[in-house]
Chain A
Amino acid sequence: MATTTTLKPRKDAKGPWWARLPIVSHYRMSAGLQRGMLVAGLVLTIVFVLAAALAPVLAPFGFSQISDTSGNFPTQAPPGGKFIWGTTVGGFDVYSRTLWGAQTAFAVIVTAVAFSIFLGVALGLLSGYIGGWLDRVLVVLADAIYAFPSLLLAIVMSIVISQGQSSLWGGVMAAAISITVVFIPQYFRVIRAETVRLKAEPFVESAKVVGASNLRIMSKHIFRNATRTLPLIFTLNASEALLTLAGLGFLGFGIEPTAASEWGFDLNRALSDATSGIWWTGVFPGLAIVLTVLGLTLVGESMNDLADPRLRLRRKAKRRGGKATA
């Protein structure tokens, strides 16, 4: 997923072009346990994407289906037989709903992250480059939003946007926009800080001297350099977006259960089942959230560590000193 944002290849980077793509280059840089974490994260992320893409093929039933030709589905049936992960109190098939949930989650994550990257980067660039009162106002605004419990803001936003009732696309958009508002300050901060730093660099100065327009400087010289860190923020925010979506759904402010399957909502319903010892309605959607977030976070964390020389162990040093330190 993260390969969609391409890093600007460095001049001195060696190897074919594909070796300089974010994930690939990170993989080649990694070693030992760190490589293991990266690979585990990638596998989990790929499984999630496949589940989202292939839900219509893999799921035996629809997400709101409660009967078929042989009659109504049993309610709260334990896992086994036709319903391999059991059924819920409403007669939904847990396995099917969990698969369909991946699709909803994927749609919301992609929409939310795309929106927040676009707006956050644009505002950060403008704020950092132009400076002055615009910068002051935007920074104070972003800080105020950033300091606030994000879930609460997302709830307020989702009420405002969806006015309570939501169809599939309405629900996805409402959730995505709510999450976007919460995440813009993060992108804004990072990009603004980079822009302010880059603005003082000699190459910007020289671009000015040769008469490049502000627009050109911003898009060519600053944007390309300031967005190096985006792939990592992207993966980490994707996981936060998923958690926020689940939180919204759990509190009942997400997407209607008849419009789509959403893991957080299913967990809310499973809460009372847990009290009577019925575990399968909660454990499967819950694990789906945990594994997806785990995968995305492992990828993001590994990229973060590999990008930070303080945290990166050199492969050579590792090989040589492996025995001595172990």
Chain B
Amino acid sequence: MAITTEIADEPSAAPAPTPAPAKAGGSFARYLVTRFLLIFPTIFILVTLVFFLMRVTGDPITAALGGRLTPDQLAERIAAAGYDRPVMVQYLEYLGQIFTGNFGRTISDNRAVTEVLMTYGAATAELAFNSLVIALLIGIPFGLLSAKLRDRWPDAILRVFAILCYATPVFFAGLLLKLVFGVWLGWLPIAGRAGISAELQLTSLQNPTGIYLLDALRSGNMAAAGDVIEHAILPAVALGLLTAGVFLRLVRTNVIGTLGREYVEAGRSRGVSEYRLLTKHAYRPALIPIITVMGLQIALLLGGAVLTETTFEWKGLGFQLAQYLTARDFVAVQGIVVLLAVIVALTNFIVDIVAALIDPRVRF
């Protein structure tokens, strides 16, 4: 899990290699275009990497069904799926297919990969959003407080709390939450996205978004909405805490850095309130590295989602990915990985653009 606070201050933390600076302070439009074009190599490299890594172990059919079919049956299936052709031909064909949005069909349960992505992507998006909310609610205020009370005991407690958030694997946090709030206190459900009846009602809606809370609210089903929220709390807290620790540390470090600048001192001498100094003068300039790392956290969040979803049997992309990996269903795995690569690359793009809008100096 790439927690990246320690290099947040490095100039190299800007996620993309930027070409030579445009002369005379390149325009924003130009930056936007070059930065956008850099999305493609990232995706391309990951797709290529995963494709060939998966093929090192052999063809997907043998990997998935090797133990269950006779050699003849296997050969037949391999030929039918076209895996007996040269790998480079398959690779080029695969690239072409991805380009047209065709990810193929899964081997283990013969479903269209695009359908798998749509169905489970919504569940993962819901979990990621919930945990991001929790991470921001905890990370930013406590980070500001920690910076303000620097090197006094509340700061020490908050810092240890932040490190603890990072040191606790999300599945151990999940296990403890399940044990305490689910089993011993019996307050919250410990698995799944909703109770059986609520789940049935929500999945039988017309044009469901797959995001349960949204679907429940749209159809005015308040009982189901309550049920969905109850199920969402523990997974969101488990995953949110992990990210909250990172945000807390990041806000603290960067705000301490900006609190020491002259303009903050100047503001103080003009009689600006301490609260305003903290939230406006020191916090605003500290935002850029925070936003940059937040973008990188999306990758962490997606990695953490695999573990969280497995812990809470939250039927999302991560849960499904773990299943497909166990089944060695590499067609499905590749599809999910490509989607994740696209999400990560797009997020980094958006983050860079937002950072450039806030501070023109990072446009290179």
A256-B51 Cα distance, complex, nearest whole Å: 26
A291-B151 Cα distance, complex, nearest whole Å: 23
Contact between B15 and A147, CB atoms less than 8 A apart = yes
Closest chain A residue to B259, Cβ basis: A310
B6 contacts A by Cβ under 8 Å = yes
Contact between B163 and A301, CB atoms less than 8 A apart = yes
Q: Assuming the A-B contacts A253-B325, A294-B167, are A147 and B344 also in contact, with contact meaning beta carbons closer than 8 angstroms in the complex?
A: yes
Interface residues of A in 22-46 (CB under 8 A from B): 32-34, 36-37
Contact between A243 and B1, CB atoms less than 8 A apart = yes
Interface residues of A, dominant DSSP: helix
Residues on A with C-beta less than 8 A from B256 are 310-311
Contact between A290 and B17, CB atoms less than 8 A apart = no
Q: Assuming the A-B contacts A152-B303, A157-B53, A310-B260, are A247 and B1 also in contact, with contact meaning beta carbons closer than 8 angstroms in the complex?
A: yes
Contact between B6 and A141, CB atoms less than 8 A apart = no
Closest 3 pairs (CB-CB, A-B):
A149-B303, A286-B172, A293-B167
Query: Can you name 24 A-B residue pairings with CB atoms under 8 Å?
Result: A33-B153, A37-B159, A136-B17, A140-B41, A143-B16, A144-B45, A144-B46, A149-B344, A150-B1, A150-B303, A156-B53, A233-B6, A246-B169, A267-B169, A267-B172, A271-B171, A275-B183, A282-B176, A286-B172, A290-B168, A297-B163, A297-B166, A310-B257, A318-B151
Min Cβ gap B307→A in Å is 6
Min Cβ gap B285→A in Å is 14
Contact between A304 and B6, CB atoms less than 8 A apart = yes
Contact between B151 and A155, CB atoms less than 8 A apart = no
Interface residues of B, dominant DSSP: helix
Binds A, one of B22-30, B85-93, B294-302: B294-302
**Interface size (B, Cβ < 8 Å)?**
72
Interface residues of A in 228-248 (CB under 8 A from B): 232-233, 236, 239-240, 243-244, 246-247
Contact between A151 and B325, CB atoms less than 8 A apart = no
Contact between A286 and B322, CB atoms less than 8 A apart = no
Contact between A277 and B45, CB atoms less than 8 A apart = no
A289 contacts B by Cβ under 8 Å = yes
A250-B7 Cα distance, complex, nearest whole Å: 28
B275 contacts A by Cβ under 8 Å = no
Contact between A148 and B159, CB atoms less than 8 A apart = no
Partner of A147, one of B9, B57, B345: B345
B310 contacts A by Cβ under 8 Å = yes
- B residues with a Cβ closer than 8 A to A are 1-3, 6-7, 9-13, 15-17, 41-42, 45-46, 49-50, 53-54, 56-57, 151-153, 155-156, 159-160, 163-164, 166-169, 171-172, 175-176, 178-179, 182-184, 190, 253, 256-257, 260, 296, 299-300, 302-304, 306-307, 310-311, 321-322, 325-326, 328, 333, 337, 340-341, 344-345, 348
A251-B9 Cα distance, complex, nearest whole Å: 33
Partner of A251, one of B3, B12, B296, B307: B307
Q: Assuming the A-B contacts A144-B46, A152-B303, A156-B54, are A275 and B190 also in contact, with contact meaning beta carbons closer than 8 angstroms in the complex?
A: yes
**Interface size (A, Cβ < 8 Å)?**
75
Residues on B with C-beta less than 8 A from A274 are 175, 178-179, 183
Q: Taking A152-B302, A250-B307 as given, write out 11 further A-B residue pairs in contact, using a Cβ cutoff of 8 Å, ordered by the A residue number.
A: A33-B156, A148-B46, A148-B341, A149-B303, A151-B303, A151-B304, A193-B10, A193-B11, A243-B169, A290-B164, A298-B163
Contact between A275 and B178, CB atoms less than 8 A apart = yes
Q: Assuming the A-B contacts A275-B190, A311-B256, are A141 and B45 also in contact, with contact meaning beta carbons closer than 8 angstroms in the complex?
A: yes
